């Protein structure tokens, strides 16, 4: 064994070890001072702010550089310790030896602990860091590109931002920031390695959390991201709501769990899915400096299957609304509030100038509305109307546009305390609906009734009806057909309870068919129970019925309707009627009280141009005492008068049959033939 050779190698190894230790010692002692000096010098010169670092530590054996107490002073502040614009407790960088071989920054870990930024908005677009932003803008090199780098395990722990909006005297706080980026590189083959960044923070007390997977340096830049927001309260941001808008946000909280998928192909592709929720949303409309309720939501849940905004595709899974309250108003000029808002946000000029584009593809699997309310206020009528549809519940499935998928729906509500329900199907080119209501108060329509008739209206209405609508298609015209097995109006009164002018106990229309576009109506049977009529004529010869109609300003003359309506009435049955006649126009006047009025009329067409003979049977009793009662009965037929049309001549009223009188008080009517 060559002892000399062994000793030489031992000395060489010793020299190498000693050299490494010396190099470590020198770098351990010199690098911190050099780095601290350069940070403070170059940072201060570059930013125009005082930059300080409390301590710099370098551990050459692990290639770890630690900077503690890094601070950037506010503009014009000589001491960043008490007036720091930016403060960072610690920055730790674990440098990799690969930096020497790749000739680019490579770090195995980057950790930033508790960075705190103080930011202020001065107004008129000015911030307290405008001078720093100007430095960065001036130092940008056009076409320099992105420098090569490779960073691993990037973390920000416990940071925050305090933003002061001085003009509005509002402070926003971003806290508990946690950012984690496992890998980020644009060097060679590492471009296609996916990185999974994560960001979480508290903003004004609301929790935000994001998670993503991205390859930012490959051609398609494929990115998948997830955004989570919990309890986001809108109140801190209400001062920024545009004052010129006719709608004002009052309250609301947002929750969100959204996933994004992005690819840059020939055209960019973006897909959004997830869940969105709103709580306690309140919107008011501003009308003449007065706030009026517009929309309220107890809660809204929206589940998105696939929303591709760049392709105008909306595929929604579920839309659920709990306790929505919608307010509809019509002003004295007859304009709806929602139409006025649409005109403000989407002017007609914008619609006219918008280029033609592909229509949206919309689909909604399920719609659910519970405990809703629809408020209607109408100031365009003489008697302002105020109605409320309460306890509104709606469910629907499989809505789509422009495809013709058949959707179904059903719902119910209370109108002035009466139950209203409906169900049906539609494919947006046709609809079939069945509707039922029970004991709806007619006084609900009183404001609109008073626009046409003077006597007050009270009573109840019940009905079962079906609606069949089909849009025009090719040579087939549009159709709208309404069918009702029965429509009932009960306890109806015209006038006041003290001075009624007319009324009835029940009016039932059975087997009603109405073809709106064909202008045809058919009623299978009419049953009228206990009608009342107080017929009066004043000394000037005017019947009270002539005063019922409200006179309206005469508008421009209208052309005669080319096609008159066709009305076919089935048998009419009147039972238990009462007629009180008081005629003061004839000399001496005439009065007659008829009770137990019964009338039977066969099927007839009152609007026909050539009426046919129709059977009729009528009887009633008159008098105040049963032993003095007089009776009148008639059994025969009648034909209504007609006007001349073409070669057809006008015909007068025709009446034939058998008249029976029993102790009838003709003397009460002698004024008519005296």
Question: What does the pLDDT average to over 225-253?
Answer: 90
pLDDT at 191 over 50: no
- The DSSP annotation for 217-257 comes to TSTT--EEEEEEEEEEESGGGGGGS-TTSSEEEEEEEEEEE
What does the alpha-carbon distance between residue 287 and residue 274 come to, in Å, rounded to a whole number?
37
**Partner residues linked to 407 by β-bridges:** 426
What does the alpha-carbon distance between residue 490 and residue 418 come to, in Å, rounded to a whole number?
14
Q: Which of 567, 569, 568, 657 is nearest to 619 (CA)?
A: 657
Least confident of 1-5, 491-495, 647-651: 1-5
Q: Which residue has the tokens 């006084």?
A: 443
Q: CB atoms < 10 A from the CB of 2, how many?
A: 7
Domain annotation covers residue 44: no
Look up the pTM and report it.
0.77
Q: CB atoms < 10 A from the CB of 543, how many?
A: 13
* Pairwise pLDDT comparison (6 vs 354), residue with the higher score: 6
3-state secondary structure of 45: helix
Question: What does the pLDDT average to over 460-474?
Answer: 92
The domain containing residue 631 runs over which residues?
530-545+563-672
Our count of domains for the chain comes to: 1
Per-residue confidence (pLDDT) for residue 210, from 0 to 100: 82
Domain annotation covers residue 117: no
Torsion angle of alpha carbons 624, 626, 629, 632, nearest 10°? 120
pLDDT at 79 over 70: no
What does the alpha-carbon distance between residue 439 and residue 463 come to, in Å, rounded to a whole number?
9
For residue 653 the two structure tokens come to: 């009223």
**Identity of the highest mean pLDDT range in 107-116, 151-160, 250-259:** 250-259
What does the alpha-carbon distance between residue 397 and residue 425 come to, in Å, rounded to a whole number?
9
| Contact status, residue 300 vs residue 308, Cβ threshold 8 Å | no
Question: What does the pLDDT average to over 661-667?
Answer: 85
| Contact status, residue 430 vs residue 410, Cβ threshold 8 Å | no
What does the alpha-carbon distance between residue 596 and residue 204 come to, in Å, rounded to a whole number?
78
What does the alpha-carbon distance between residue 31 and residue 61 come to, in Å, rounded to a whole number?
13
Domain annotation covers residue 652: yes
| Contact status, residue 203 vs residue 176, Cβ threshold 8 Å | no
CA–CA distances in Å: residue 27 to residues 13, 40, 68, 95: 21, 19, 18, 14
Mean of per-residue pLDDT scores for the chain: 84
What are the helix (H) ranges across 320-373?
Answer: 337-345, 348-353
Domain annotation covers residue 617: yes
What does the alpha-carbon distance between residue 327 and residue 308 come to, in Å, rounded to a whole number?
32
pLDDT at 25 over 70: no
Per-residue confidence (pLDDT) for residue 115, from 0 to 100: 93
pLDDT at 216 over 60: no
Residues 6+ apart with CB under 8 A from 502: 455, 493, 494, 495, 531, 532, 533, 534
Question: What does the pLDDT average to over 618-635?
Answer: 81
Kind of pairing, strands 614-622 and 630-639? antiparallel
Percentage helix, strand, coil for the chain under 3-state DSSP, each rounded to 5: 15, 55, 25
Q: Which of 443, 577, 543 is nearest to 497 (CA)?
A: 443
Per-residue pLDDT of 392-451, as tens digits, reads 999 999 998 887 789 999 999 999 889 999 999 998 889 999 999 999 999 999 999 999
Domain annotation covers residue 107: no
| Contact status, residue 413 vs residue 388, Cβ threshold 8 Å | no
Per-residue pLDDT of 310-330, as tens digits, reads 888 899 999 999 999 999 999
Q: Which residue has the tokens 């009806």?
A: 465
Per-residue pLDDT of 496-532, as tens digits, reads 888 899 999 999 999 999 999 989 999 999 999 999 9
Cis amide leading into 402 (omega within 30): yes
Domain annotation covers residue 651: yes
Kind of pairing, strands 407-415 and 385-401? antiparallel
Domain annotation covers residue 204: no
Per-residue confidence (pLDDT) for residue 466, from 0 to 100: 95
Question: What does the pLDDT average to over 546-564?
Answer: 67
What does the alpha-carbon distance between residue 89 and residue 70 come to, in Å, rounded to a whole number?
7
CA–CA distances in Å: residue 131 to residues 18, 49, 83, 134, 501: 50, 9, 17, 5, 85
For the chain, how many helices (H) and strands (E)? 6, 31
pLDDT at 24 over 80: no
Kind of pairing, strands 313-322 and 361-378? parallel
Domain annotation covers residue 640: yes
């Amino acid at each position: 064994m060559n002892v000399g050779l062994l000793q030489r190698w031992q000395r060489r190894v010793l020299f190498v070890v000693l050299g490494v230790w010396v190099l470590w010692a020198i770098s351990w002692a010199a690098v911190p001072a050099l780095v601290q000096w350069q940070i403070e010098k170059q940072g201060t010169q570059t930013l125009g702010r005082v930059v300080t670092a409390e301590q710099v530590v370098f551990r050459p054996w692990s290639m770890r550089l630690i900077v503690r107490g890094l601070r950037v002073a506010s503009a014009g502040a000589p001491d960043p310790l008490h007036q720091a614009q930016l403060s960072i407790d610690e920055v730790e960088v674990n440098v990799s030896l690969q930096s020497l071989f790749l000739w680019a920054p490579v770090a195995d870990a980057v950790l930033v602990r508790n960075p705190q930024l103080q930011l202020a908005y001065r107004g008129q677009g000015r911030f307290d860091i405008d001078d720093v932003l100007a430095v960065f803008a001036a130092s940008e090199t056009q076409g320099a590109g992105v420098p090569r780098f490779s960073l691993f395990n990037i973390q920000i722990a416990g940071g925050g931002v305090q933003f002061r909006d001085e003009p509005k005297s509002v402070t926003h706080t971003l806290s508990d920031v946690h950012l984690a980026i496992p890998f980020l590189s644009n060097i060679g083959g590492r471009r296609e390695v996916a990185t999974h960044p994560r960001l979480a923070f508290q903003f004004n007390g609301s929790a935000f959390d994001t998670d993503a997977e991205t390859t930012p340096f490959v051609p398609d830049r494929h990115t998948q991201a997830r955004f989570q927001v919990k309890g986001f309260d809108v109140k801190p941001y209400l001062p920024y709501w545009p004052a010129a808008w006719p709608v004002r946000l009052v309250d609301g909280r947002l929750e969100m769990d959204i996933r994004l998928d992005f690819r840059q192909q020939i055209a960019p592709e973006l897909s959004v899915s997830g869940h969105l929720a709103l709580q306690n949303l309140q919107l008011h409309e501003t009308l003449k400096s007065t706030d009026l309720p517009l929309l309220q939501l107890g809660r809204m849940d929206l589940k998105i299957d696939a929303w591709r905004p760049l392709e105008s595709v909306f595929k929604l899974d579920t839309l659920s609304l709990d306790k929505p309250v919608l307010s509809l108003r019509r002003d004295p000029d007859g304009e709806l509030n929602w139409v006025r808002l649409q005109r403000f946000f989407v002017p007609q000029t914008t619609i006219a100038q918008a280029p033609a584009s592909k229509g949206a593809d919309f689909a909604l699997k399920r719609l659910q509305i519970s405990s809703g309310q629809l408020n209607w206020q109408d100031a365009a009528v003489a008697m302002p109307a105020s109605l409320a549809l309460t306890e509104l519940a709606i469910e629907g499935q499989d809505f789509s546009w422009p495809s013709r998928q058949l959707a179904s729906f059903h719902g119910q509500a209370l109108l002035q305390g009466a139950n209203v329900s409906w169900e049906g199907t539609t494919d947006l080119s046709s609809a079939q609906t069945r509707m039922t209501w029970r004991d709806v108060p007619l006084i609900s329509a009183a404001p609109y009734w008073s626009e046409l008739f003077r006597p007050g209206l009270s009573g109840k209405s019940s009905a079962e009806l079906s609606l069949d609508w089909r849009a025009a298609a090719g040579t087939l015209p549009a159709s709208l057909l309404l069918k009702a097995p029965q429509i009932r109006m009960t306890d109806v009164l015209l006038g006041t309870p003290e001075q009624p002018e007319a009324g009835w106990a029940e009016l039932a229309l059975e087997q009603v068919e109405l073809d709106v576009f064909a202008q045809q109506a058919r009623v299978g049977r009419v049953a009228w129970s206990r009608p009342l009529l107080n017929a009066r004529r004043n000394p000037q010869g005017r019947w009270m019925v002539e005063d019922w109609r409200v006179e309206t300003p005469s508008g421009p003359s209208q052309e005669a309707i080319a096609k008159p309506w066709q009305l076919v009435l089935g048998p009419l049955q009147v039972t238990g009627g009462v007629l009180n006649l008081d005629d003061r126009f004839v000399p001496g006047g005439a009065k007659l009280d008829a009770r137990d009025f019964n009338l039977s009329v066969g099927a007839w067409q009152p609007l026909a141009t050539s009426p046919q003979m129709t059977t009729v049977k009528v009887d009633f009793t008159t008098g105040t005492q049963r032993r003095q009662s007089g009776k009148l009965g008639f059994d025969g037929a009648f034909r209504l008068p007609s006007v001349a049309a073409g070669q057809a001549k006008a015909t007068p009223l025709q009446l034939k049959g058998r008249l029976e009188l029993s102790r009838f008080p003709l003397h009460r009517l002698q004024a008519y033939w005296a």
